Structure 1
Amino acid sequence: MFVSCSEKNFFESHWNHPISEQGLPPLHFSTLEKNLDPKACGSCHKEQFQNWEKSYHSKSISKGFLWQKEILSSKEYQSCLQCHSPLAETKSELSVEFQTPEILNSKLHNFPEGISNPSILCASCHIRNQIRFGPPPKTNLVNNVPSNQVPHNGYIAKKEFDSSEFCKSCHTSKETGVKLNGKRLMEVYTEWEKSPFAKQGIQCQNCHMPDREHSWKGIHDKTFVQNSLQPTWNFIEKNGIYQIQAELKSIGIGHEFPTYIVPKIYLHFYAIQKNAPRILLEESVVGRFVNTQLTEEYFDTRIKPQGSHLVRFDYEPKGKLIKEFLWEIEVDPDEQYIRSFEEQLVEKGNLLSKQSKKFLQESLDTKRNSRYLLFTLSLKVPASLPQ
């Protein structure tokens, strides 16, 4: 029998993979209540649906994911589906192993119009065995209406939905997974657990789901990242040599920045001349750089929570007329994917099916275009006074 999520360890039961099919909806449910498609949920939960629709959770099964089915073993592919498509019903759209009579029957009754997007859906987090779960209400509500007279029998309120541990199942690699230099490929929860944010009781949801917003903004959102970092710099001129110091401080990030191995942050420093091309003085990379085979780590310069990345260097103009110094901070959210996909296109492009190769190329193009300029800072060089 289904182990209720009201048991002592909610997380173990709620994220007990593979998640079982939802089964048949209660007979007294209306047609709308029986439908687990996110659009049906959006009939009442409009704001949550609209935010989810624009989020990366709704795009967890993308072309960048689908093309890889042909190069992954069955075991590897099933492992990916655990987080990218948690429901048994959505998995049946992607893998024959989940096309059992029980799962297909459940899909027929719970998704009567089919599943057009087998990604992370509302039900992936909120429904188990036809029981709805969610966080406690924001305010104390007095409600004496019988549960069978409220939509989908109401829901079971669990405080765990407001806990960082709720996100751990998908945002931290398994202990048995790949480790490089003693670190798992993804340690978001562990990084948070060791941070000052955890000690202060600040959860993942406080930043990524403010006011319970279902958009889960992250590294791809420029404004979100800008509000989490503080760049400061200055220079001192001494005997014709400029001593430049810069600091990029993490002020609102509860894990290492950037987390995981994929994004990279580039710091470029320039000298701007009058009527001449700018001069690149220094460049620095913030990130965890590993090879595409995920077998070797080359460096890890990520910023710890409330920590800083420091850059110091000297520059001697040697007769060049410098007007100002420029510091550009650029974010490449998908650097590791770009490097890996470019390599796969060369090495295995001719072995892929026409559709998979098309998906790979389109995904690569999209990820190449995700790069953006985060900050541009300038320091004017004072004009020399006459002797």
Structure 2
Amino acid sequence: MFVSCSDSSFLQSHWNHPIPELGTPPSHFSTLEKNLNPRACGTCHQNQFQNWEKSFHAKSASPGFLWQKEIFTQEEYKSCLNCHSPLAETKLEIDSNFQTPEIISSKSHNFPDGIDNPSILCASCHIRNQIRFGPPPRTNVTKIKTSGSMSHNSYVVKEEFESSEFCKSCHESKETGVRLSGKRLMEVYTEWERSPFAKQGIQCQNCHMPDREHSWKGIHDKTFVQNSLKPIWEVKEQNGQYQIQAELKNIGVGHNFPTYLVPKVYLRFYVIFKNKKLPILLEESVVGRVVNTDLTEEYLDTRIKPNESHKVRFNYEPKENLVSEMIWEIEVDPDEQYVRSFEEQLKTKATTLTTDAKKLLQESLSEKKNSRYILFTLNWKAPVSLPK
């Protein structure tokens, strides 16, 4: 079933929500082929499974998402499920409204051992109507067997799997969505489309799925972020006054950094005096999109566009010239908006949430508070004064 082509209607039908139930597997499939649990897929696709298992795709139906079912309307939560739990069978595990005979039957056929993780699974992207879809094979198509002996009837090749447009369905707000200062809440695809990366043909998959790795690393991965940014700074001293010039450049992110309104990046500048051990904060600026918890008002947007920089310039004149060292520290808070919002929800809805929802909320809040990390620390040592 190798039909390598770019079909303009493929993505529209592939991500047409709600995605229909998977249905009954072909009778000639083996027991393993009929099982769509990611662990079963990992029997042959070991690397993909191991990377997926640690990814945020495998955590899309995490406590931070599940507790919100109690504060959304039925239609709002159903819309969220389209991306957080795309398959009808996984939605069934989360929302009783999907307990139809057809979906229950499909789940029993395709997940015989049950679904322990109703997140984004292998089948969420790769299977529709018992047909497997995937990117072009790395080896020559003519050398690949296409007989009935191929596992799960082989697969249909679609070039769209290597296109940024494949990711757009879940990583770009709808045109009819909320807008703040003229911008939708998520515009990852649009930001990329306007960037030099798009003009060079660099797709989302090139950075977030290198070598077809199924880990989708992003803002929570320190090394990944470090390789995408370049901090440059200079400290000059003249007549007891210090001039600090700093620049954080986006050298490898194909969209605004950070793209979502959730993360915040803090640039802090400290001074340490010779006669004191503790650093003193001189200047702080934030990189990110700052909005209120109701998502109705935007206060600030200092995100860095591809190949552009966030610059900080300031002068500092200490009362006594006993400066020993200056430090530039860059901290990433990947979940700042969630922390602020969840804390507010915990305070205002403490008496109305069920015990289970409150427990999930507290668990998620604790996890998100601990996701912060120091991205870079740069030091500038004051020149040693030689005796005359």
TM-score norm. by structure 1 comes to: 0.97
**Paired-residue identity, %:** 73
Paired with 1:173 and 1:333, the residues of 2 have a C-alpha distance of: 20
In structure 2, the residue corresponding to 1:147 is in which secondary structure? Answer: coil
Cα separation, partners in 2 of 1:92 and 1:68, compared to 1, 3 Å:
same
Paired with 1:235 and 1:158, the residues of 2 have a C-alpha distance of: 53
Which shows bigger deviation, 112-121 or 90-99? 90-99
Written as runs of structure 1 = structure 2, the 5 A alignment for 1:137-216 is 137-143=137-143, 145-216=145-216
Q: 2:70 touches 2:353 (CA, 8 Å); kept in 1?
A: yes
Match of 1:273 in 2: 273
Deviations 1:36-73 (A, max 9, x none): 10001000000000000000000000011111111111
Structure 1 position 319 matched with structure 2 position 320 = yes
Match of 1:101 in 2: 101
Paired with 1:144 and 1:134, the residues of 2 have a C-alpha distance of: 15
Match of 2:125 in 1: 125
Match of 1:292 in 2: 293
Cα separation, partners in 2 of 1:291 and 1:8, compared to 1, 3 Å:
closer
Paired with 1:289 and 1:146, the residues of 2 have a C-alpha distance of: 53
Match of 1:304 in 2: 305
Deviation at 1:145, TM superposition (A): 3.4
Deviation at 1:6, TM superposition (A): 8.2
Q: 2:264 touches 2:289 (CA, 8 Å); kept in 1?
A: yes
Coordinate RMSD, CA, aligned: 1.2
Deviation at 1:349, TM superposition (A): 1.4
Deviation at 1:230, TM superposition (A): 0.2
Deviations 1:270-289 (A, max 9, x none): 01112412111100000000
In structure 2, the residue corresponding to 1:148 is in which secondary structure? Answer: coil
Deviation at 1:149, TM superposition (A): 1.0
Letter in 1 for 2:132: R
Deviations 1:248-299 (A, max 9, x none): 0000000000011000000000011124121111000000000000000000
Paired with 1:196 and 1:62, the residues of 2 have a C-alpha distance of: 34
Match of 2:43 in 1: 43
Q: 2:146 touches 2:154 (CA, 8 Å); kept in 1?
A: no
Cα separation, partners in 2 of 1:309 and 1:77, compared to 1, 3 Å:
same
Deviations 1:357-380 (A, max 9, x none): 011111100000000000000011
User: What runs of 5+ residues in structure 2 fail to find an aligned partner?
Assistant: none
Q: 2:64 touches 2:360 (CA, 8 Å); kept in 1?
A: yes
Match of 1:250 in 2: 250
Structure 1 position 57 matched with structure 2 position 73 = no
Match of 1:357 in 2: 358
Letter in 1 for 2:313: R
In structure 2, the residue corresponding to 1:93 is in which secondary structure? Answer: helix
Deviation at 1:385, TM superposition (A): 4.3
Match of 2:379 in 1: 378
Q: 2:334 touches 2:371 (CA, 8 Å); kept in 1?
A: yes
Paired with 2:168 and 2:331, the residues of 1 have a C-alpha distance of: 29
In structure 1, the residue corresponding to 2:148 is in which secondary structure? Answer: helix
Paired with 1:194 and 1:144, the residues of 2 have a C-alpha distance of: 38
In structure 2, the residue corresponding to 1:349 is in which secondary structure? Answer: coil
Match of 2:330 in 1: 329
In structure 1, the residue corresponding to 2:349 is in which secondary structure? Answer: helix
Paired with 2:144 and 2:23, the residues of 1 have a C-alpha distance of: 29
Match of 1:71 in 2: 71
Paired with 1:360 and 1:280, the residues of 2 have a C-alpha distance of: 33
Paired with 1:146 and 1:210, the residues of 2 have a C-alpha distance of: 27
Which shows bigger deviation, 140-149 or 93-102? 140-149
Paired with 1:147 and 1:110, the residues of 2 have a C-alpha distance of: 23
Letter in 2 for 1:315: Y
Match of 2:343 in 1: 342
In structure 1, the residue corresponding to 2:254 is in which secondary structure? Answer: coil
Paired with 1:98 and 1:311, the residues of 2 have a C-alpha distance of: 52
Number of aligned residue pairs: 383
Q: 2:6 touches 2:160 (CA, 8 Å); kept in 1?
A: no
Paired with 1:93 and 1:8, the residues of 2 have a C-alpha distance of: 33
Letter in 2 for 1:307: E
Letter in 1 for 2:110: N
Paired with 1:112 and 1:119, the residues of 2 have a C-alpha distance of: 17
Q: 2:270 touches 2:328 (CA, 8 Å); kept in 1?
A: yes
